[in-house]
Amino acid sequence: MTIPLPRQKNLRADTAWVIYQILENGKSSRECLAKVQRRYQGKDNAWIQEMSLGVMRQLPLLQTWLRQLLDKPLKGNKKVLEHLILLGLYQIAFSRVSSHAAVSETVNAASYLGGMQLKGLVNAILRNFERQALATQPVEDPIIASGLPKWFYKRVVAAYPDHYESVVEQTNAQAPIWLRVNTCQVSRETFCEALTQQDIAFSLSEQHPQAVILVKRQDITALPGYEKGWFAVQDGAAQLAAQYLAPQPNDRVLDCCAAPGGKTGHIFEIQPAIGSCLAIDSDAIRLERVKENMTRLQHKPEIKIGDALRPDQWWDGQLFDRILLDAPCSATGVIRRHPDIRWLRKSTDIAALGALQSEIMDVMWSLLKPGGTLLYATCSILPEENHQQVAAFLARTEDAELSSLTETDTTEKPGRQILPGEQQMDGFYYARLIKSSH
């Protein structure tokens, strides 16, 4: 059921609306937060984001508590009050907000959501939660403790039986902010000096020659050189794409499913003498972000809206030397960065995504020159989308050869799987394939 944003702004009512939109209507947190955060500034916006995404991380436990405290589920346009209560429970159990403020302010917010007559119910539930000290009781069920949907938890255990606990732990951890220095505009050394002058703490990564990792979260637009295009925000795992693609001078490159353009920009930075780069994506709104990012970074790819499965709509008939296929996927490797993904994805999505990935790979292969390179990438940690997908492609494609990225990268289990938290990176997968020229 769709409910409008509360007419009058109220921090907790608006945050509950965000949570409702994600969980009941399948909207992304990015979309919902953008609508709400127009009403606020600075610390309030940070609070809304922290609380709404915190509820996403702890949802199974919060819902378990709610079921113990609420006799009958609320229905219709009152359903949003359940999400307000979840927010109240989260504040009491997990946040720095004092219990007194959490209860009184959450009760007050009910009237902004059309729940004036239910303020007593909200108050009673939150008071009972405190009285029963539910937050101090041990959580016996490992799935509830994980904060993950049951289907995903089971897939993680099946895929990584020896270390699934650390995968779950890292999936729930706070992701660091990685920057990629635009070396077409400034050296990493000069950028780091500018950060030091502003007392902004950072660390570097030996495996990522353009990367800077911020120690604390920052307003990115206030960092030195933002307007000049000195850097882009891009996780360390995603920064490996251009390295593994390794474009050469005069190469004709295709970046397929390119939005929001991080990898497109990196291709230009890693090889300024590139011949051409075509960036395509089927999402017109996200493609606008590619254009904005490329303008700020001062790169000039050709940008087209296009369906990867319909090259007749956007391709000029000339084969490519290198193709980066950042395939549509479950995004299970970036849940720590986007906690709402765990509730927006369904178990049934995985087979459908696998079929789509397989189809796109076959189409992209037909656009690649003999001797050319296709880099297959996902931000997933599920084998069905990653090494199983590539192994099946190699088995059915006679002129495809694996170009190893690591010592364990073999035809039986091709590619490199990066798990969340590995060298501070997001979960990601890469496989590099060469089209034989004979």
The residue to which tokens 């819902």 are assigned: 63
Residue 260, marked binder:
yes
257 annotated to bind ligand: yes
CA-nearest of 174, 147, 132 to 63 is 147
Cβ pair 56, 377 in contact under 8 A: no
Is 259 marked as a binding-site residue?
Answer: yes
Token representation of residue 162: 């020896």
- In the chain, the amino acid numbered 326 is D
Active site residue 379: yes
SS3 (DSSP) at 209 = coil
List the one residue out of 130, 90, 84, 132 whose CA is nearest residue 107: 84
Amino acid at position 147, single letter: G
Length of the chain (residues): 438
Tell me whether residue 326 is annotated as binding. Answer: yes
Would you say 256 is a known binding-site residue?
no
**CA 131 from chain center: how many Å?**
38
184 is in an annotated binding site: no
Q: Which region, left, alpha or beta, applies to residue 38 given φ > 0 means left and ψ of -120 to 50 means alpha?
A: alpha
Identify any residues that bridge with 281 across adjacent strands, giving them in sequence order. 305
279 close to 255: Cβ distance less than 8 angstroms:
yes
Backbone dihedral angles phi then psi of residue 80, each to the nearest 5 degrees: -60, -25
Whether omega before 414 lies within 30 degrees of 0, making that bond cis, reads: no
Beta pairing partners, 373 = 322, 434
Amino acid identity, residue 122?
A: V
d(CA 25, CA 12): 19
Beta bridge partners of 278: 254, 302
Q: Note if the bond before 339 is cis, omega within 30 degrees.
A: no
Residue tagged active-site, from 32, 277, 329, 379: 379
Element (H, E) at 304: strand 302-305
How far is residue 305's CA from residue 300's CA, in Å, rounded to a whole number?
16
- Is 265 annotated as a binding-site member? no
Q: 43: which residues sit within 8 A by CB, 6+ positions away?
A: none
N-to-C CA span, the chain: 58
Q: Please give the annotated binding residues, written as ranges.
A: 257-263, 281, 307, 326
Q: Please give the annotated binding residues for S-adenosyl-L-methionine, written as ranges.
A: 257-263, 281, 307, 326
- The set of catalytic residues is 379
